[in-house]
Amino acid sequence: MKETFRRYWKVWVPPLALVVLDLCALVGYQLLFAGNVDQLRAEVDAEQARLERIAAQRSELAELVLRARHSRAGIEGLYASSFGTERERLTDWIREVKELAEQSGLVPSAITYPHEDLVDYGLLERSFIFPVRGSYTSLRQFINLLELTESFVVLEGVSMNESEPELQISLSLSTLFADADRGRDGT
């Protein structure tokens, strides 16, 4: 059998050489490239985790943008409906306050109308200050009617002096108007 191997060495040496080369290539791959594959796999996993974090942040930002747009639309609606311009609402507002006072049994006299510009917000604040005579019950009824009105009215102050037979009451109310001369952003 030894003789057969020697005689046909040209037949069996090339396949043996290929097997040895394959074994060397496999060992070389294990030593040189298998570590790189694990490293690349770890990098891909890290990038995937980073991508997921960025997608979550993007989703949060998209939600914030949506809420900001909704808030801006609400503010614009508030300015348009509740804070119409002074020209559009002042007369109706004064009439409504006088009617509510009279309904309550309080008759305003000597009304003053101070105002203040709220430039940063594109608003004008108009106050309505007036003294009345009436009972505590009438005052409570007036305040209740103010709370029930759909108009934007703020009761800023009430002061009373007791005198017979009625109280002397000083009321201070205010409301806001959109500044017709200025934009909503103050420009």
DSSP 85: B
DSSP 179: -
Task: Please classify residue 185 by burial: count the beta carbons closer than 10 Å to its beta carbon, then call 0-12 exposed, 13-18 middle and 19+ buried.
Answer: exposed
Encode pLDDT of 20-75 as tens digits. 999 988 888 777 776 677 788 889 999 999 999 999 999 999 999 999 999 988 87
pTM score above 0.75: no
Alpha helices per DSSP H over 34-104: 34-81, 86-103
The answer to whether the peptide bond before residue 108 is cis (omega within 30 degrees of 0) is no
**For a pLDDT cut of 70, what percent of the chain falls above it?**
87
Q: Of the ranges 35-44, 57-66, 159-168, 174-183, which is most confident?
A: 57-66
Q: Please, which pLDDT band fits residue 124 given cuts at 50, 70 and 90?
A: confident
Tokens of 17: 């050489």
| pLDDT above 90 (res 186) | no
CA 40/CA 46 separation, integer angstroms: 10
What local confidence, expressed as pLDDT, does residue 86 receive?
Answer: 63
Biggest alpha carbon–alpha carbon distance for the chain: 144
Instruction: Give the amino acid at 185.
Output: D
Closest CA to 125 of 114, 136, 134: 114
What counts of helices (H) and strands (E) characterise the chain? 5, 4
What local confidence, expressed as pLDDT, does residue 81 receive?
Answer: 63
CB atoms < 10 A from the CB of 106, how many?
Answer: 23
